[in-house]
Structure 1
């Protein structure tokens, strides 16, 4: 039996019969395997631009809400290396060197610290010029030349925001009791306020109205 199925003639006959059966099943057309082309991928949609989060201090409406970290002059006197983990070794060495004179109210030491620390450096974009000086062991004074663009928008808010921020930064820099801030515009003094340290203590500046607080500190506005 096995010899019969292995003969060439029988195999040819078997293949013919299989083709005939397939022809009956598919109507004379043999199926052809096809592979569909993959659908074209949709173009990637551009991601919306990420809007930068506004940080307090970047605009006039937030200017007074932040301030420099206070320098602990007693700590600077006691330690030759940074004790706060934030100040650079170079800057701390400067503080340590001047701490004794600063705590004694030495005006020359005050002036050197103001020049080196430059506590009002972040505010130069908001004024044509800013100056600061030590009036006494307990008082500093700063004068800023107003920018016309800010004066044209909301001058009372601008003047108060600048006054309060300047006072906060200077009080953080040196152990004085008060800071007087003056604003000048077109050659005239248009703003004057004296900010006592005690009046600014324990304030949540995120919720402070700078115009009201400046008024509490005796602010005078000219031409408003």
Structure 2
């Protein structure tokens, strides 16, 4: 049994002194947790925190050292579009809120746990810029020169379209006057012959395009042909 002496004054009465018997457990509870280390205001504990804009309230970053058990940092974008950073307490330190900025040193206090007293937290904030994906330049195949296209409109057999000055692996597409694709063929050399089943007895025109490997299809050129 531990005896604790309490003194108090009552108006009109001399000072009264009482001796109260307390068990060791009761005395400890009354005094609170006894820290192993106490940091005074003149010699505070040290901690750091680096808060990035990728640290949301759901994905916060913890302060370094002993304060990692008690303080977390996170960021959010305000309505005006500016980033705001916070160093908030959690657990025994819940309810302690600090708005912070880059290179600021924040003084916080703990009255629970093995280390108590004053702590200085050095804050660093990082605003990450969103990476803008560069759009790849669209490469478009060069259109065929109409002078290099010859069309033979045959009777009772397939018509022949001959195109010169093409490159190997070029895809050549033939469309009718209304834009419907008639045939597509890949060149195996510098000249290509394409057979079309009867363009018609009367004179008319087709549209021709080319597409090189890794490029988009070229614009269509109009090539006229005579009657059978």
> Which TM-score bucket, shorter chain as reference?
under 0.3
Alignment TM-score, normalising by the size of structure 2? 0.25
Q: Give the number of the structure whose residues are more often helix, by fraction.
A: 1
What is the TM-score normalised by the length of structure 1?
0.25
Higher strand share: 2
Kindly name which structure, 1 or 2, has the bigger radius of gyration based on alpha carbons: 2
